[in-house]
Amino acid sequence: MAIPNKNKGRPLSEDELQIVSSFYESDEYSRMQLASDQRKVIAFGMNEYHENTCIKFVPRTSEKNYIRIYKKGSGCSNVSLDDGCVSRIRPGIVLHELMHAAGFFHEHTRPDRDTFVRINFENILEKHVFNFNTNDASKVTTLGLPYDYDSVMHYSRYAFAVDRTRPTITPVPNENVEIGNRRKFSCLDLLKLNALYCSEVK
């Protein structure tokens, strides 16, 4: 998983620590039309951060920096959590979207990804090809951690496939490696979150 490189080589300031240790939820979240089991899935996702990292999600009052959780009608992005994104079967989708809010990119877009997966561009829906482009090594960092097939930030084998019988992502050299975890954080997900946000928090 690649993450923004803006803090590499310098400690976080006190103001930045206040921001990163508490992500403020917009009041729009409290007004969202969600079924009770959907709220439980989102609460589960947030609690996974609370229990395993220093990151806390708290209601916003007047903070300038906050995340907006809302329904936009379709899809899961910018912490837009529509019905298909909030599922007890795949609670990792909430973890995935909140990791985006925390500044993380998809694992399969790491600059070194071609060593670990083959992207079958010819089978990707055209409007989603950008989701498979690698990030520039000068703008992101992997925190020196190994590639994580099990990350909640890794797409599944058939993500955005034209032909759902053929994969868009093939692990190499072992094609049978499982990818596309949407159940829980991997061990490396937690290492990354804590390395980026929690090492400076006293």
Which residues are known binding-site members for Zn(2+)?
Answer: 96, 100, 106
Instruction: Kindly name the residue from 14, 97, 107, 122 that is annotated as catalytic.
Output: 97
25 is catalytic: no
Taking the CA atoms of 96, 38, 130 and 5 in sequence, report the sign of the dihedral they define. Answer: negative
Alpha-carbon distances of 19 from 28, 32, 66, 168, 197, rounded to whole Å: 19, 24, 8, 37, 10
**What would the two tokens of residue 35 be?**
């079924």
Q: State in Å, rounded, how far the first CA of the chain is from the last one.
A: 25
Beta bridge partners of 180: none
From the list 199, 196, 149, the residue with the least C-alpha distance to 173 is 149
Can you give the three-state secondary structure of 35-87, one letter per residue? CHHHHHHHHHHHHHHHHHCCCEEEECCCCCCCECCECCCCCCCCCECCHHHCC
Query: Among all residues, which ones are annotated catalytic?
Result: 97
